Structure 1
Amino acid sequence: MARETEKQRLERNFTDELKELRVAQTGVQILFAFLLTLPFTAGFPHVTPFQRDAYLVALVSAAAATALIIAPVAMHSALFRQARKSELVRYAHRVSTGALGFLLIAMTSAVLLITDYVLPRGVALLLSAITALVFLLLWVGLPLTRRDWGRAR
């Protein structure tokens, strides 16, 4: 089997990055849509200032995650046919990492908002911290500790 050329490798890396972003995009869009409709529900006027702040953090973080997830498409359009695939792959990787960071904040804040609405504050804070910890372990801890999976020893 022939070795992959640099151009083929960059194309494959960019395609892989876009596939990963598509998976995250669905979740971000669903969360963002939910957060956009929340102020128009009957119970929203009864939230506490703390819950309102948690909502705003979740909303702005979901918006930032959405912007970052879509950013590689805009960059691809700007760099189209300029032989700058390497730059595009690096950019897509960096913004996808940022998008996951904002998604982590949005998810944790949304959990905090909802759990604080239905449970005592201490329980809500604990559940939100556990949520953040699970995301950090799955999205950061495990990947960093297992970077050598699949490598021959």
Structure 2
Amino acid sequence: MAREERRETEKERADRRWTELLQEVRVAQMGIQILLGFLLSVAFTERFTDLGTVDRNIYVVTVVLGSAATGTLIAPVALHRFVTGHRMKPQTVEWAARLTITGLVLLLCTVTCALLLILRVVLHNGLAWWIVGALFMWFVGAWFLLPAWARRVGPRQMRQEG
């Protein structure tokens, strides 16, 4: 069966892509904002003073990455707000998509560092590095490699079916 093409103008396509992008960004924003909120509160707990230098450095890197991820994932909204009315929707969608991917990379780094810090504190051994490495690879696969593979294979399968 032939694939049905969308019949939409460039403006309609940009509007649709913008709406889809906003829905995706909302999920990532919620996750990073909750994680960052928890991270920021850790410095004010009694046990924070017990952390060694390495763990404190991991904490600082994690908070900085979380802050960068938050800013980057909120940036599409600011970008849209500042260019609205200037007939730049298709370009805005492209820039916002790039910011979102950058934000996802920063989110990946933040989650990885947070897991490393937590597992180092809980396990007190080198197993934390192995677990975090495996989870990092899982996230890379699920968030980046699978979509890249789907983009490459998807059009071929559609041509074969059509």
Normalising by the smaller structure, the TM-score range is over 0.9
Letter in 2 for 1:73: V
Letter in 2 for 1:21: V
Query: Aligned partners of 1:56 and 1:128: how far apart in 2?
Result: 18
What TM-score do you get using the length of structure 2 for normalisation? 0.90
Out of 2, 5, 10, the position equivalent to 1:6 is 10
Q: How does 1:126-145 map to 2 (within 5 A)?
A: 126-145=130-149
Out of 104, 112, 117, the position equivalent to 1:113 is 117
Q: Secondary structure at the match of 1:24?
A: helix
Question: Quick check: which has more Rg, 1 or 2?
Answer: 2
Cα 1:137–1:2 change in 2 (3 A) is closer
Q: Which runs of 5+ in 1 are unaligned?
A: none
Q: What percentage of residue pairs aligned between the two structures are identical?
A: 38
- The range that moved more, 123-132 or 107-116, is 123-132
Superposed CA RMSD in Å reads 1.5
Q: How does 1:53-132 map to 2 (within 5 A)?
A: 53-132=57-136
What TM-score do you get using the length of structure 1 for normalisation? 0.95
Q: Secondary structure at the match of 1:43?
A: helix
Q: Which runs of 5+ in 2 are unaligned?
A: none
Shift of 1:42: 1.2
Q: How many residues are treated as equivalent by the alignment? A: 153
Shift of 1:2: 7.7
> Does 1 or 2 have the higher relative contact order (CA < 8 Å, sep 6+)?
2
Query: Aligned partners of 1:54 and 1:133: how far apart in 2?
Result: 19
Cα 1:2–1:96 change in 2 (3 A) is closer
Shift of 1:149: 3.3
Query: Aligned partners of 1:95 and 1:121: how far apart in 2?
Result: 36
1:85-110 CA distance string (max 9 Å, x none) = 01100111010011001101100000
Name the structure 2 match of 1:24: 28
Shift of 1:141: 1.1
Shift of 1:120: 2.9
